[in-house]
């Protein structure tokens, strides 16, 4: 599981700059829905072969009483609760402030691993700029410059050192791992309970196997599954209770763990931008997908038609996924979910022989050739499978670096259709053969 680094500090100390430096992008994953402010960003980063999640919490006002600062503080508090390690940013040029002391006192009570980063220290002597921050009594200080990258590598090495050899549960590729994702109050918890409480379903009494998502092994009709809950499922005796709050971090981690994601939509509400955000991250992660449109029994025929049009318009990029119309509360259509999950899992894990792939490639090119680049047209010779979950097709040939993105998408759709791989995205990679005579040309 990726460790979660949460950036905390008062406004204007450089948290967003450090976030951009760590993720190498400003909009890796931005969550925008009621109860989650735009100042809270989620992204992924990597230090060598060690991936991590990073959260920018916005300005933290632990003593705020009203206004938008209360909302920002609430979101920062939630991120702090989900953190594996906290990075407390202070401004080395402004010096230690009363606000910094308030935040330090709050973070000290949390009891999470904590690192103090003295930012904006470019061009300054480290021992001088860090001197007064020792007063906080929070241990070793790291003097950095988010804008210039100074000291950031050392900071990351320190933060991730405890996670370098993190022991994770070895996945069993034969057991489909299903993540149930979606916005708040769309019926995820009800669906989870329906999946676990159906007749002929055996749920094993096993504690959560990961830090931030609960994995529940269960069996249905003699077939084993692992359900990864994103709503904070807890076990109390034999009764499953859910926390009705949405955690982006847990959802991101659950999606990355899963083989198949079930994206739950609420038919009584409009398809939102956040539905598209979650769907986009599922596709970006290469996970197989089933769309479960919940509360279908609560809407009339007119609303059903409108909702289908909204899906086509806002979630058209999820066209590879099967759509199921269900009522988790009444149990209608829930049993069909397993068939869709099995089909999506089989598609994601399919093995495609090289001869079949090459013949399909030739047929695709014959149907629509790649556009010319200058006087020459890229030439594709053969294809083979380069991976599963999602299926990766590697195409070899000449001048393939000039193939347009639109033609790559055409090939992806063609392969999905010709091999009937419903429920999984597919990746196409190009490998251009090296010309041994290029270096000898004068």
- Give the residue among 181, 115, 112, 160 at the shortest CA–CA distance from 1: 160
Q: How confident is the model at residue 331 (pLDDT cuts 50, 70, 90)?
A: confident
Among 233-242, 250-259, 270-279, 306-315, the range scoring the smallest mean pLDDT is 233-242
Percent of the chain at pLDDT > 70 equals 80
Angle between helices 273-285 and 248-257 (to 10 degrees): 30
Q: What is the pLDDT at residue 63?
A: 58
Provide mean pLDDT across the span 257-274. Answer: 91
* Domains detected in the chain: 4-163 (3.40.50.300), 177-348 (3.40.50.300), 354-432 (3.30.300.20)
What b/e sequence results for 280-319 when a residue is b if at least 16 CB atoms lie within 10 Å of its CB, and e otherwise?
ebbbebbbbbbbbbbbbeebeeeeeeebeebbeebbeebe
Q: pLDDT for 31-40, tens place per residue?
A: 333 333 334 5
Average pLDDT of every residue of the chain = 81
Among 66-75, 191-200, 202-211, 374-383, the range scoring the smallest mean pLDDT is 202-211
Q: What is the pLDDT at residue 347?
A: 94
Provide mean pLDDT across the span 292-309. Answer: 94
- Give the residue among 322, 327, 261, 271 at the shortest CA–CA distance from 295: 327
Q: Structure pTM?
A: 0.64
Q: What is the pLDDT at residue 395?
A: 93
Provide mean pLDDT across the span 359-367. Answer: 94
- Give the residue among 220, 225, 280 at the shortest CA–CA distance from 255: 280
Three-state DSSP at 200 gives: coil
Check pLDDT > 70 for residue 374. Answer: yes
Query: Exposed, middle or buried by CB within 10 Å (0-12, 13-18, 19+), for 442?
Result: exposed
Q: Which residue has the higher pLDDT, 117 or 61?
A: 117
Three-state DSSP at 325 gives: strand
Check pLDDT > 70 for residue 25. Answer: no
Bond prior to 390 in cis (omega within 30° of 0): yes
Check pLDDT > 70 for residue 72. Answer: no
Q: pLDDT for 398-422, tens place per residue?
A: 888 889 899 999 999 999 999 999 9
Q: pLDDT for 339-356, tens place per residue?
A: 999 999 999 999 999 999
């Amino acid at each position: 599981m990726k460790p979660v680094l949460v950036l905390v500090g008062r406004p204007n100390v450089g948290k967003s700059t450090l976030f951009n430096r760590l993720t190498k992008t400003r909009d890796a994953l931005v969550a925008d829905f009621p109860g989650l402010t735009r100042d809270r960003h989620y992204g992924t980063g990597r230090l060598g072969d060690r991936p991590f999640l990073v959260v920018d919490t916005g300005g933290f006002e632990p003593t705020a009483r009203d206004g938008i600062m209360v909302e920002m503080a609430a979101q920062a508090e939630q991120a702090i609760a989900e953190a594996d390690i906290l990075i407390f940013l202070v401004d080395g040029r402004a010096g230690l402030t009363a606000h910094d002391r308030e935040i330090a006192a709050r973070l000290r009570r949390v009891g999470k691993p904590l690192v103090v980063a003295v930012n904006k220290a470019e061009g300054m002597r480290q021992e001088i700029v860090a001197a007064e921050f020792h007063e906080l009594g929070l241990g070793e200080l790291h003097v950095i410059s988010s804008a210039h990258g100074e000291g950031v590598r050392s900071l990351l090495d320190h933060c991730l050192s405890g996670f370098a050899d993190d022991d994770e549960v070895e996945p069993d590729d034969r057991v489909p791992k299903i993540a149930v994702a979606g916005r708040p109050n769309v019926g995820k918890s009800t669906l989870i309970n329906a999946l676990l409480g159906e007749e002929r379903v055996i749920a094993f009494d096993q504690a959560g196997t990961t830090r931030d998502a609960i994995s529940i092994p269960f069996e249905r009709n003699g077939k084993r599954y692992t359900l990864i809950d994103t709503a904070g499922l807890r076990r109390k005796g034999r009764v499953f209770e859910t926390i009705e709050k949405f955690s982006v971090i847990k959802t991101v981690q659950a999606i990355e763990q899963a083989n198949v994601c079930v994206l739950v939509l609420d038919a009584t509400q409009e398809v939102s931008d956040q539905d598209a955000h979650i769907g986009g991250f599922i596709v970006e992660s290469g996970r197989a997908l089933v769309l479960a449109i919940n509360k279908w029994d609560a809407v009339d025929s007119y609303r059903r038609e409108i909702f289908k049009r909204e899906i086509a318009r806002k979630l058209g990029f999820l066209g590879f996924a099967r759509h199921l119309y269900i009522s988790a509360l009444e149990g209608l259509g829930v049993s069909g979910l397993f068939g869709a999950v099995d089909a999506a899992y089989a598609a994601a894990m399919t093995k495609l022989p090289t001869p079949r792939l090459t013949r399909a490639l030739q047929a695709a090119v014959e149907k629509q050739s790649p556009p010319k680049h200058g006087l020459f047209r890229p030439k594709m010779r053969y294809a083979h499978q380069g991976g599963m979950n999602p299926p990766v097709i590697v195409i070899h040939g000449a001048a393939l670096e000039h193939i347009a993105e639109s033609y790559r998408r055409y090939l992806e759709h063609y392969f999905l259709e010709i091999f009937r791989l419903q429920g999984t995205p597919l990746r196409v990679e190009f490998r251009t053969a090296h010309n041994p005579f290029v270096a000898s040309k004068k």
